[in-house]
Amino acid sequence: MNHLNDKVPDKIGRITELAYNLWWSWTPEARGLFRRLDYPLWRKTLHNPVQMLQEISPLKLQEAAQDSTFLRQYNKVMMLFDDTMKNHDSWFYQTYPELADKTIAYFSFEFGLHSSLPIYSGGLGILSGDHAKEASDLGLPFVGVGFMYPQGYFRQRIPSHGWQEAVYQQLDISQAPVLPVLNGDGHEMRISVNLGGRRVSARIWHVQVGRNPLFLLDTDVDENEPWDRELSARLYSGDSETRIRQEIMLGIGGVRALRALGINPTAWHMNEGHSAFLTLECIRELVAEGKNFEEAVAIVKKQSIFTTHTPVPAGHDAFGFQMVEQYFNGFWDELGINREHFLSLGGHEEEWGMAFNMTVLALRLSGQANGVSKLHGEISREMWQEVWPDKPVDEVPISSITNGVHVPTWIAGEVHNIFDKYIGPGWLEQHDNPAIWQRLAEAPDDEMWDVHLALKRKLMSYLRERVRRRWVNGTNDPTQVLTSGTLLDPEALTIGFARRFATYKRATLIFRDLERLQRIMMDIHRPVQFIFAGKAHPADEPGKSLIQHIYNLAKHNQLGGRIAFVEDYDMHMARYLTQGVDVWLNNPRRPREASGTSGMKAAINGIPNFSILDGWWVEGYNGANGWAIGDEREFENHEVQDEYDANFIYQVLEEEIVPLYYSRDRDGIPRGWVEIMRECIGSNAPMFGTRRMIKEYTTELYIKALRASEANSN
């Protein structure tokens, strides 16, 4: 921060503090302040205040410090900021004052907080980011632990042949909202772990997420060997050995980082099995204090919470016993157990033989576990029943808490304003209360529709300007100018599909009967168009071939530019898409979608879902707030399922969605459609926000762990 402090005039000096607290990113008043400071630069830096303050001319800052309107706004924002940081009226503090001095540690491999900190790949990361933000809003005593990946996930480029290329860019960390943690003597703090016989060190980056810190480990430090320096360079790019090394660093190194910082959590939440080694480190500490293994396990179980995130077996990391031995040889002695006992903690029969499964480890050593939707809870109980061989499936202790999205992050400013006006300015504080949403009936149809159309135009101009910028910079060939959304028609019914290109998500299902789809799309009176976006994992060849398939259709002149594939999907683009299309499409192979969250982002903005009854939509769909694909039926044969689901999609499009969208009254307003938009918001907004979710995590899981620790220390 120091390098900025010299430049910023005292009168607005705390604006750097604001830039380094991601609170600004979900607070409209704070965003407005940065926008006002230098709007072109705000846009150029893709809303990155840290970079902006570095690049802004000192003159602009001087002017701002003299401008009474700016100063008034600045003071207002800083007052709001200080009030928020005090925390005394937060939900947690008011509800559980006796637990306010405890700490919940939340470990995750990825955090999707803002596009200026690209340390996420998809849904899991976005969920962690939203979880951390809401934990701040509700005042939970919370600290996050993750990785700083200086090369992030990857940037997606799609050349004219349509085969995705992965570009790794070194993040300029000085332009990210992170600062190194320093020791008392002013040097960077270090922690280290033993990785296969070598000490590997990590520095710790601090990200402030509202009221709470998030700490990110980074092994790119001078004293490490080159191989070790690379360890945290990228997210999910390595082989299985890189992965176990990363997971040891996150789990064991993460515990050590918190200890080094003087933070002693009373509840430990593992978001996914990636961080499950943390339980072993906690056991090791207790054994070193004189407990025996069983006593230590009992304590660790009480304080540990585990959330599993996918019903896809390959999504659960498992390591060969030999590799585990190589990295944990000797560690089991410190736990007071032998090799066989150690390996049995994660023992699980994989398709390729017995292995050490991180989900099994996490389940064995956490007292509380959950899936991320009701259906996913059910599937998880079946999937992991073997961990409790003496319990019938329905008594397997894996509960469920359905995911949510952080409403202030994902709501469009324009929609926010409508809610302020018709529900009342306090709506955000109470948005998990279903009763307040009845007031949305008072928002006039034309106003709701106008706001939606404005957001749709905003999306199209965002896509157009994005292509223009790339074209000017010479990174695009002319084909891409055609395929990236420049030919989209702002009047046409627009369907959005954006997510990771994992094959179970069936991105190309809609193209199964191309002729039928073409008839739907090319109707001159009632045209329909599609916007696709998403990355395939760099090693996922089938996923990449789905992208190529869509890309080739986007180039096809017979489809008239009504299909766009927009490269390099990220949070920034996700906001435009989930706020600006007309319908959000999701057609995974049931029951593979544990929850899904992009549809929730769309729903809170009044964009109805058209989705398979999988994940959250089984709970969200009520017959009047969007459309279902299929009827919860699952076929053994994938071909049959695909055929059935595709036909279902065409039929609902032809008979319901398209006619309703184009049925306008004399003022040009589709009254029936607006009714669905209103129902979509009213029924989903209270249920699928992280506000409801974090309250459930707190009352159902965290509290138990926090109170158990009290019993221990007494």
Give the span between the Cα atoms of 166 and 541, in whole angstroms.
12
If the CB atoms of residues 571 and 613 are measured against ligand PLP, the closer one turns out to be 571
Which stretch, 71-79, 122-130, 206-214, 384-392, contacts ligand PLP (CB under 6 A)? 122-130
Gap between the terminal Cα atoms of the chain = 42
Which stretch, 120-128, 442-450, 506-514, 642-650, contacts ligand PLP (CB under 6 A)? 120-128
Give least dist CB 183 to ligand PLP, A. Answer: 36
Hey, CA dihedral for 272, 275, 277, 281, is it positive or negative?
Answer: negative
Which stretch, 345-353, 356-364, 566-574, 705-713, contacts ligand PLP (CB under 6 A)? 566-574
Give least dist CB 98 to ligand PLP, A. Answer: 36
574 lies in the site for ligand PLP, by CB under 6 A: yes
What stretches of 396-436 show up as alpha helix (H) in DSSP? 407-410, 413-422
- Member of 18, 77, 126, 488 binding ligand PLP (CB under 6 A): 126
How many CB atoms lie under 10 A from the CB of residue 573?
20
Which own/partner pairs from 34-37 qualify as long-range (CB within 8 Å, at least 24 positions apart)? 36/70, 36/73, 37/61, 37/64, 37/70
- Member of 128, 151, 366, 598 binding ligand PLP (CB under 6 A): 598
Give least dist CB 278 to ligand PLP, A. Answer: 25
Half-sphere exposure in the Cβ direction for 214 (13 Å, CA): 33
> Rg of the chain's alpha carbons, rounded to an integer?
25
Among 701, 4, 36, 133, smallest CA distance to 371 is for 701
DSSP 260: H
- Member of 273, 408, 485, 596 binding ligand PLP (CB under 6 A): 596
The strands making up 609-612's β-sheet, listed across from edge to edge, are 563-566, 528-533, 493-498, 583-586, 609-612, 626-629
Encoded one letter per residue, x for contact with ligand PLP by CB under 6 A and - for no contact, window 71-110 reads ----------------------------------------
Give least dist CB 703 to ligand PLP, A. Answer: 28
- Member of 49, 118, 123, 620 binding ligand PLP (CB under 6 A): 123
If the CB atoms of residues 580 and 596 are measured against ligand PLP, the closer one turns out to be 596
499 lies in the site for ligand PLP, by CB under 6 A: yes
* Contacts of 574 by beta carbon, 8 Å cutoff, 6+ apart: 126, 498, 598, 601
If the CB atoms of residues 178 and 594 are measured against ligand PLP, the closer one turns out to be 594
509 lies in the site for ligand PLP, by CB under 6 A: no
614 lies in the site for ligand PLP, by CB under 6 A: no
Give least dist CB 617 to ligand PLP, A. Answer: 10
Give the span between the Cα atoms of 387 and 395, in whole angstroms.
12
Give least dist CB 122 to ligand PLP, A. Answer: 4
Which stretch, 243-251, 329-337, 437-445, 568-576, contacts ligand PLP (CB under 6 A)? 568-576
| Three-state helix/strand/coil letters over 440-485 | HHHCCHHHHHHHHHHHHHHHHHHHHHHHHHHHHCCCCCHHHHHHHH
If the CB atoms of residues 1 and 46 are measured against ligand PLP, the closer one turns out to be 46
Give least dist CB 460 to ligand PLP, A. Answer: 19
Paired with 350 in beta bridges are: 353
* Contacts of 612 by beta carbon, 8 Å cutoff, 6+ apart: 586, 587, 588, 589, 590, 593, 628, 629, 630, 645
Which stretch, 233-241, 247-255, 319-327, 590-598, contacts ligand PLP (CB under 6 A)? 590-598
Which stretch, 341-349, 366-374, 378-386, 563-571, contacts ligand PLP (CB under 6 A)? 563-571
608 lies in the site for ligand PLP, by CB under 6 A: no
689 lies in the site for ligand PLP, by CB under 6 A: no
Half-sphere exposure in the Cβ direction for 512 (13 Å, CA): 17
Backbone angles phi, psi at 88, to 5 degrees: -70, -25
Give the span between the Cα atoms of 153 and 148, in whole angstroms.
11
If the CB atoms of residues 279 and 578 are measured against ligand PLP, the closer one turns out to be 578
122 lies in the site for ligand PLP, by CB under 6 A: yes
- Member of 597, 605, 625, 690 binding ligand PLP (CB under 6 A): 597
Q: Which of residues 325-384 bind ligand PLP (CB under 6 A)?
A: none
Give least dist CB 280 to ligand PLP, A. Answer: 30
Give the span between the Cα atoms of 346 and 337, in whole angstroms.
14
* Contacts of 292 by beta carbon, 8 Å cutoff, 6+ apart: 336
- Does residue 618 contact residue 494 with C-beta atoms inside 8 Å? no
- Member of 111, 331, 384, 569 binding ligand PLP (CB under 6 A): 569
Count of residues engaged in binding ligand PLP, rule: CB under 6 A: 13
412 lies in the site for ligand PLP, by CB under 6 A: no
Give least dist CB 645 to ligand PLP, A. Answer: 17
Half-sphere exposure in the Cβ direction for 612 (13 Å, CA): 29
Give the span between the Cα atoms of 322 and 339, in whole angstroms.
11
Tokens representing residue 660 in the block:
């309703």
Among 704, 690, 710, smallest CA distance to 304 is for 704
571 lies in the site for ligand PLP, by CB under 6 A: yes
Q: Which residues bind ligand PLP (CB under 6 A)?
A: 122-123, 126, 499, 569-571, 574, 596-599, 601
